[in-house]
């Protein structure tokens, strides 16, 4: 039965509202069906599979990394074994012109290598009317003609503006959008499939394909890979008492705030632009001065830190210190000319942490290992560490030492018996460049998803699946 515009509006309101009363991850997961719950679906059943297709290609056309595509194998294998017609849909980057056509042959090769027959993996284009949300009849006909066990791809979901309609929408703006969103969800259910499987682990924004489609489905489930990550690793990562945070995006300050709000963290090691913000705020609190260079004076600089972010960091540090959180911030930097300095000159920039900071990190890691041993002695289990990001412009060797050296600290923590988790993205890339997965407990294929999971708000697609499972 189609969902009404009113039902769609109410659903979207729940998706965008922030509430402290919403169940936490550990309470949501038992309510969300696993893939095996769909074992009774007969051969020929059409199933929408929201997948992690967001991969990057190098200039020569080769895939930069295929781990996300490989994470899809077991779910797609299961569907093929059941004879389902699987309609894979997902995004690739944020540009509308990006296409999944280069992804299709790579995914086909990975599936064939794994012994999963999949044909040519056709990519269906122009499958949705962006103005109305309606699914095209041509796409419906193409899917209807597929034989049992077939797999087909829908073109980049973010080729349509509607896909991102809930990203930054305000409650008052939802009503005009609701008819288009309802048409989209109902169209998928009526013309393509009434079963939705989410295997898009890294797709943690409020994309309609992840958060609204479950509303119109008869059956839903988590895919094999995402289910394992959610039930096995994420609950442990959420117990992290040491978090290593770095990067050049100031939005990470919001992520760190959300993590600190849960009250688990005892120590934060920060670097990058995030550390500049925190260090400036700490200096303000302590009645000291700290020069941020061009990051503090040039609003045209993409790394400029506005005053409101300094104030946010000031409150974070003040509240954190009161709660007993230790903030470990850089004491020296590698400047653009390659020299190490305790100060950043006016108009200058820092591109890595300096040797004194590297030594400080090693000392603080040692202190945390001692804390871990005390926990074990008290019978309270191992301490948990979460690492996200890199310490500087690590793509250039002259600014890579801080990142490279800290990978060794992660190995040291793991060898000390701690549980060490690394977010995807640059943190995972650094681990694979300077070490390997054996140096940590687990390395995720997604960074942003993990940051959301460690905060107080549910991951949007988890929230949607929970709502769909308990309605």
Determine the Cα–Cα distance for residues 258 and 281; give it in Å rounded to an integer.
18
Alpha-carbon Rg for the chain in angstroms: 23
Residue 121 is encoded by which pair of tokens?
A: 């993996």
Residue labelled with tokens 């949300």: 133
- Kindly list the structural domains of the chain, giving each domain's residue range(s) and its CATH number in brackets, ordered by start: 5-232+458-470 (3.40.50.1260), 239-454 (3.40.50.1260)
**Strands 151-154 and 384-388, sheet pairing:** unpaired
- pLDDT reported for residue 248: 67
Residue 163, class by beta-carbon neighbours within 10 Å (0-12 exposed, 13-18 middle, 19+ buried)? Answer: buried
- pLDDT reported for residue 424: 77
Determine the Cα–Cα distance for residues 310 and 174; give it in Å rounded to an integer.
32
Residue 376, class by beta-carbon neighbours within 10 Å (0-12 exposed, 13-18 middle, 19+ buried)? Answer: middle
Averaged pLDDT in 10-residue chunks for the chain of 471 residues: 93 88 91 98 98 91 88 97 98 94 96 93 97 97 97 98 95 95 97 98 94 97 96 93 85 88 94 90 92 78 84 95 96 92 88 95 97 94 93 85 95 97 87 93 88 87 96 87
Give kind and range of the element (H or E) at residue 307: helix 307-322
- pLDDT reported for residue 34: 97
**pTM confidence score:** 0.89
Nearest to 212 by CA among 31, 14, 18: 14
Determine the Cα–Cα distance for residues 232 and 222; give it in Å rounded to an integer.
14
Q: How many helices (H) and strands (E) would you count in the chain?
A: 20, 15
Three-state DSSP class for residue 191: helix
DSSP state of 437: G
Residue labelled with tokens 């020569």: 60
- pLDDT reported for residue 247: 72
């Amino acid at each position: 039965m189609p969902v009404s515009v009113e039902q769609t509006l109410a659903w979207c309101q729940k998706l965008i509202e922030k509430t402290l009363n919403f169940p936490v991850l550990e309470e949501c997961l038992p309510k969300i069906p696993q893939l095996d719950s769909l074992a009774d679906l007969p051969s020929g059943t059409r199933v929408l599979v929201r997948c992690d297709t967001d991969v990057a290609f190098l200039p020569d056309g080769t895939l930069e990394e295929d781990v996300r595509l490989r994470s899809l194998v077991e779910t797609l294998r299961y569907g093929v074994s059941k004879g389902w017609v699987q309609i894979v849909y997902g995004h690739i980057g944020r540009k509308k012109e990006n296409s999944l056509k280069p992804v299709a042959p790579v995914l086909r090769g990975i599936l064939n290598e794994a012994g999963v027959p999949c044909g040519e993996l056709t990519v269906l284009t122009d499958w949705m009317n962006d103005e109305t949300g309606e699914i095209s009849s041509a796409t419906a006909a193409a899917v209807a003609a597929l034989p049992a066990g077939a797999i087909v791809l829908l073109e980049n979901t973010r080729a349509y503006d509607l896909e991102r309609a809930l990203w930054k929408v305000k409650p008052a703006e939802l009503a005009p959008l609701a008819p288009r969103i309802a048409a989209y969800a109902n169209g998928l259910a009526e013309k393509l499939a009434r079963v939705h499987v989410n295997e898009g682990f890294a797709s943690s924004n409020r994309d309609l394909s992840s958060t609204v489609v479950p509303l119109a489905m008869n059956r839903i489930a988590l895919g094999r890979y995402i289910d394992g990550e959610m039930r096995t690793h994420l609950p442990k990562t959420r117990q992290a008492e040491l978090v290593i945070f770095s990067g050049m995006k100031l939005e990470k300050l919001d992520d760190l705030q959300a993590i600190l709000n849960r009250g688990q963290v005892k120590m934060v090691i920060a670097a990058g632009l995030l550390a500049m913000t925190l260090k400036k705020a700490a200096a303000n609190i302590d009645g000291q001065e700290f020069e941020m260079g061009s990051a503090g004076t040039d609003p045209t600089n993409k790394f400029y830190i506005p005053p409101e972010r300094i104030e946010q960091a000031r409150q974070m540090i003040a509240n954190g210190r009161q709660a007993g959180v230790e903030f470990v911030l850089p004491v020296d930097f590698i400047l653009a000319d390659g020299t190490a300095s305790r100060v950043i000159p006016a108009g200058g920039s820092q591109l890595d942490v300096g040797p004194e900071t590297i030594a400080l990190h090693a000392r603080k890691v040692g202190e945390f290992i001692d804390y871990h041993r005390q926990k074990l002695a008290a019978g309270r289990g191992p301490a948990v560490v979460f690492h996200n990001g890199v310490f500087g412009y690590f793509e250039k060797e002259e600014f890579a030492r801080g990142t490279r050296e800290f990978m060794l600290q992660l190995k040291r923590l793991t060898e000390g018996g701690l549980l060490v988790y690394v977010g995807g993205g640059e943190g995972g890339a650094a681990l694979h460049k300077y070490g390997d997965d054996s140096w940590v407990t687990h390395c995720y294929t997604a960074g942003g998803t993990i940051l959301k999971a460690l905060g107080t708000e549910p991951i949007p697609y988890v929230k949607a699946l929970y709502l769909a499972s308990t309605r």
